[in-house]
Structure 1
Amino acid sequence: MKYQAKSKQIRLFKKITVLLALLITSHTYAQERQISIQDALELSYANNDKIKQYNERVAQKSYENKAAKGNFLPKLSLIGGYTYLSENIEVNTSQISSSLDDLGGKYGAAFVTAYGEQIGLSGVSAESAYTTLVSVLGQFPAYPNMEINNQQFPTAALVATQPIFTGGKIIAAKKYAKAELESANIELTEVKDQIANELIERYLNLILIKQIVKTREDIYNGMLKHKEQTERAINLEILPKHVLLRAQVAVANAQKDLNNDLNKETLALMALRSTMNIEDDVPFKISDSITYKAIDLNFDNLLNTAYIKQPVLGLINQKEEIAKQALAIEKSKFMPNIAAFGSYNMLRDELPVVPPKFIVGVQAEINIFNGFKDIHQLKAKKHLKKEVENAKAYALKQIHLLVQSNYTTAKNEEKNYLSLSSTVALAKENLRINTRRFEEGLGKSIDVIDASLLYQKSKIEQLVALNAYYQAVTNLYTSIGEPENIIPFINK
């Protein structure tokens, strides 16, 4: 846990450092900020609005998880109010007349026992007095209702409730909240993986277009040099004038291709800036490039990593836990709810009927019938649990297919790139030979132009193949939940 906290602090420090550097360089017009792919990734994590959205979702679920812990603790409430009665409360004495007669008989018997001699009833026993009094009182008409003279009164009480047994509902609710928090964290990881994949793809595309532009510039400069050589040969009457037209057309076409790719470079830079969420007035340029590096890809290891780290599987695992706890909550509805309670009446003397100061007890509640609602909900949650189990089985197969597909694509792109290496070498040598032959007066201008176009075509195909190789490896790493693994293979 300490290591994870330290790692988070280091990542946060890196993000702040990159942001401060960009802020400073945004006011420095003489020099652009050099951004590596690692810097670009940190900026994307810090600035991307979608990542911010899911960070807020994680914070939300974190507090909901903490709130679920409160269900285990006692609930303490302060209850207060004011009551007004339209009439005074009356006690219906007809329903308690026998009790009143009994009470009168007991008091009369006690009085006879205590003061019988003084009133001339010394020979009367308590039992006889009681029986006689009760009999006489029973012959009297009904007692009038007793009225309590209090129509308005305040109430205030402190009430505490502590759940003792809820059929597992509280425990299931806590596990449910924890699973939702884990799901939110996994969703955040999934979004970060998507942003990382997009960032790496756009960064590699910008590297590719820059390398293509460099190739176009070399060809354009070569065409200019060839045109100048052609003009000198025509001035010396070594070549006919119509040869210059071919050279001029070749220069114009090379310049057109260069301008088109310069426009593509601008668009690629805009796309990268969008992913990093950097303002247009913040100048920067990328500092990395790519050259071929053989990457050891073991399919079995990649597949096992995917089964552990693929966010989709992680989400399904949490959905499985959520379905399990939802089923436990439904089962708890068939169990009794038992809770201890206590209350303290603070304004008891103000009440018409004076309650005791303290009341404590234990209460149990169980639902007997509610229209079969609980039974149907229980069956629904059982089917939900089976649905998630089937979804997990399907996802495992799809993950296997995805990893296998990306693995095959990466291997094919690598073979494609390697097969073009000899083609580029031959085209480059062919251009050198034809250029040398033309300079010595042994070759034709058209041969130089054709050799230049052939070299340009094969070189760009090789660059595209190299980019496709790295893109395929990036997709492969993303499919196993580790898109950042490609970064060490990109040169600084």
Structure 2
Amino acid sequence: MKKLVGILLLFSTAVFARELTLDEAIDMALTNSREIKTSELSRENSELNLKRAFKTALPKVTYNGTYQRSEYERKIDGMDHRKRGFSQDIGIYQPIFQGGSIIAGIQGAKAYENMANLMYLAEKRDIRLETIEIYSNIVRLEKNLAVLESSKKELEERHKKQEMQLNMRLITKADILKTEYTILEVDSNMIGTKNSIEIEKKKLKVKLQIPEKEILTVKPFEIENDLLSKIDFNRDVEDAKNSSISAKIAKDKVTVAQAEKTVARADLLPKVQAFAKYGTTEKRHYNDTIDDASWVGGVSVDWNVFEFGKGYDSYSISKNKERIEELNNDQTKDDIEIKVTNNYLDLVRLDKLKSSRQKALEAAQENFKMDKERYNAGLISTVDYLISETQLRQAAVDYNSVTIDYLVAFEKYRSALI
């Protein structure tokens, strides 16, 4: 029975446990995140708007029906009669000339569709980068936790030896208190690191839409040493200024502004459409009969001849908007160049810092190895030993951090080019 219970408990634990690699986390985020689903709906709406814009050029069929009944007007044969009327018709209307507004509407809707598709790609790009940042931060924190655990183990072993030395009066009480203080400090850092890991895992679960009750484990990954060798900075800058998502969206905004200007200009021109209707005309009488239905057809013209310059003001506003978007397009190119350059320089800095931190870690390891032997031989004090151990611990944490920052900086640089 106990074995059966143990098997069931093991099975239930396995059901709610999940181990992920970085690539698996990215794939899940691109499939499950709320931001992606929202962007997909926006893209679908843009496709529907484009279809609606095309249908504006097609004929439309309308039905109109009216029944009217007025107040009492006179008496006939001693009875009150009300004036009443009834009309109904069904008509077909085909736009002939709309001042270019239909074509402009289609062009604008097409630009909006392009923008929605680009924004969808931008959302995927940003979600990928966010997932990498969260996942990498978990890996960094878990590596730091391993460093702290190793440090605590070293200090606890030293503390046991110091207790024996204290009993033999080889060291003072102050020496062992300093070690105990350092152990408590490491414990505090471990608690803070564990809390940070828990928070970051919650973020990752939300991003990937993983149930809260699942136990999530992330697998560490290897980071290449020379990521800069994969970069052609000058070529990347030019490509990003012309072909990146941000650059293309800025161009589409100019197209939308041009379409809006055309629509505003079309409002200044007459609108012409052909129509054909079949039905009854309104007839007011004093009985319940209606006229026979008949066909009516022709061409209608609608033109706002005078509105105190309201239409021209709207057209002037649309021209200014077009110019604004053209200036924004130029500004976007400058912003892209600055962003790519900044990300590249940050990557260069971290590449050098990574090499520096690696040397610092190697030096701290050698120094602690020697100081440990010196302390065991009684050549240095407890304070010197603890300083050396703290330096080693901090050097390992710093190296873990810069290594992860190096990877994230490389991914930020790549994202700025997309």
Same fold (TM over 0.5): yes
TM-score by length of 1: 0.70
Query: Using the alignment, how far apart are the partners of 2:251 and 2:288 within structure 1?
Result: 57
Work out whether residues 16 and 213 of structure 2, in 8 Å CA contact, stay in contact via their aligned partners in 1: no
1:307-386 alignment runs, 5 A limit: 307-308=241-242, 310-345=244-279, 357-386=294-323
Shift of 1:415: 0.5
Matching residue of 2:63 = 78
Matching residue of 2:207 = 275
- Residue 240 and residue 154 in structure 1: after superposition, are their counterparts in 2 closer, same or farther (change >3 A)? closer
Aligned-partner residue type, residue 328 of structure 1: T
- Residue 354 and residue 240 in structure 1: after superposition, are their counterparts in 2 closer, same or farther (change >3 A)? closer
- Residue 308 and residue 287 in structure 1: after superposition, are their counterparts in 2 closer, same or farther (change >3 A)? farther
- 1:29-65, CA deviations, whole angstroms, 9 ceiling, x for partnerless residues? 5762012223333443444444443333333333222
Query: Using the alignment, how far apart are the partners of 2:11 and 2:215 within structure 1?
Result: 6
- Residue 60 and residue 234 in structure 1: after superposition, are their counterparts in 2 closer, same or farther (change >3 A)? same
Aligned-partner residue type, residue 359 of structure 2: S
1:446-457 alignment runs, 5 A limit: 446-457=383-394
Shift of 1:74: 0.8
Work out whether residues 348 and 355 of structure 1, in 8 Å CA contact, stay in contact via their aligned partners in 2: no
Work out whether residues 292 and 466 of structure 1, in 8 Å CA contact, stay in contact via their aligned partners in 2: no
For 1:287, which of 209, 214, 219 is the aligned residue? Answer: 219
- 1:144-198, CA deviations, whole angstroms, 9 ceiling, x for partnerless residues? xxxxxx9756533221111122221111112222222333333343344433333
Query: Using the alignment, how far apart are the partners of 1:279 and 1:361 within structure 2?
Result: 65
Shift of 1:281: 1.5
Query: Using the alignment, how far apart are the partners of 2:20 and 2:41 within structure 1?
Result: 28
Matching residue of 1:125 = none
Query: Using the alignment, how far apart are the partners of 2:176 and 2:12 within structure 1?
Result: 49
SS at match of 1:72: coil
For 1:182, which of 110, 114, 122 is the aligned residue? Answer: 114
Aligned-partner residue type, residue 342 of structure 1: A
- Residue 242 and residue 322 in structure 1: after superposition, are their counterparts in 2 closer, same or farther (change >3 A)? closer
Matching residue of 2:327 = 390
Matching residue of 1:474 = 411
- 1:431 matched to 2:368? The reply is yes
> Higher strand proportion, which one?
2
* Farther off after superposition, 159-168 or 246-255: 246-255
Shift of 1:400: 0.9
Matching residue of 1:302 = 236
Query: Using the alignment, how far apart are the partners of 2:160 and 2:281 within structure 1?
Result: 109
TM-score by length of 2: 0.82
Matching residue of 1:221 = 153
- Residue 26 and residue 400 in structure 1: after superposition, are their counterparts in 2 closer, same or farther (change >3 A)? farther
Shift of 1:353: 9.3
- 1:454-488, CA deviations, whole angstroms, 9 ceiling, x for partnerless residues? 2112121212221222232232223223xxxxxxx
Q: Which runs of 5+ in 2 are unaligned?
A: 1-9, 74-81
CA RMSD of aligned residues (A): 3.5
Query: Using the alignment, how far apart are the partners of 1:375 and 1:385 within structure 2?
Result: 15
For 1:41, which of 15, 26, 50 is the aligned residue? Answer: 26
- Residue 335 and residue 230 in structure 1: after superposition, are their counterparts in 2 closer, same or farther (change >3 A)? same
Query: Using the alignment, how far apart are the partners of 1:290 and 1:344 within structure 2?
Result: 76
SS at match of 2:220: coil
Aligned-partner residue type, residue 461 of structure 1: D
Query: Using the alignment, how far apart are the partners of 2:38 and 2:167 within structure 1?
Result: 69
Query: Using the alignment, how far apart are the partners of 1:167 and 1:351 within structure 2?
Result: 45
For 1:422, which of 340, 356, 359 is the aligned residue? Answer: 359
Work out whether residues 435 and 448 of structure 1, in 8 Å CA contact, stay in contact via their aligned partners in 2: yes
- 1:197 matched to 2:134? The reply is no
Work out whether residues 58 and 181 of structure 1, in 8 Å CA contact, stay in contact via their aligned partners in 2: yes
- Residue 304 and residue 355 in structure 1: after superposition, are their counterparts in 2 closer, same or farther (change >3 A)? farther
What is the aligned-residue identity percentage? 18
SS at match of 1:158: strand
Query: Using the alignment, how far apart are the partners of 1:234 and 1:157 within structure 2?
Result: 109
Query: Using the alignment, how far apart are the partners of 1:411 and 1:330 within structure 2?
Result: 50
Matching residue of 1:399 = 336
Query: Using the alignment, how far apart are the partners of 1:87 and 1:226 within structure 2?
Result: 110
Aligned-partner residue type, residue 20 of structure 2: I
* Farther off after superposition, 445-454 or 414-423: 445-454
1:88-237 alignment runs, 5 A limit: 154-232=86-164
Query: Using the alignment, how far apart are the partners of 1:223 and 1:371 within structure 2?
Result: 87
Shift of 1:382: 1.2
Shift of 1:308: 4.3
Matching residue of 2:184 = 252
